């Protein structure tokens, strides 16, 4: 069930302009400073 929630949240974020790039995130911290 938690996996379903994550997918739904990811889909919602990806629907925001520019949000599709989230799927390529490697969590390097560059965007967060």
**Is the pLDDT confidence value at 1 over 80?**
no
| Per-residue model confidence (pLDDT) at position 8 | 81
Please choose, from the candidates 14, 17, 18, the residue with its C-alpha nearest in 3D space to the C-alpha of residue 31: 18
Global pTM exceeds 0.75: no
| Per-residue model confidence (pLDDT) at position 21 | 82
Indicate the pLDDT class of residue 13, thresholds 50, 70 and 90: confident
**Is the pLDDT confidence value at 11 over 60?**
yes
**Is the pLDDT confidence value at 2 over 70?**
no
């Amino acid at each position: 069930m938690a996996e379903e929630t994550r997918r739904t949240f990811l889909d919602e974020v990806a629907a925001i302009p520019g949000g599709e790039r989230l799927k390529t995130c490697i969590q390097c911290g560059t965007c967060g400073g």
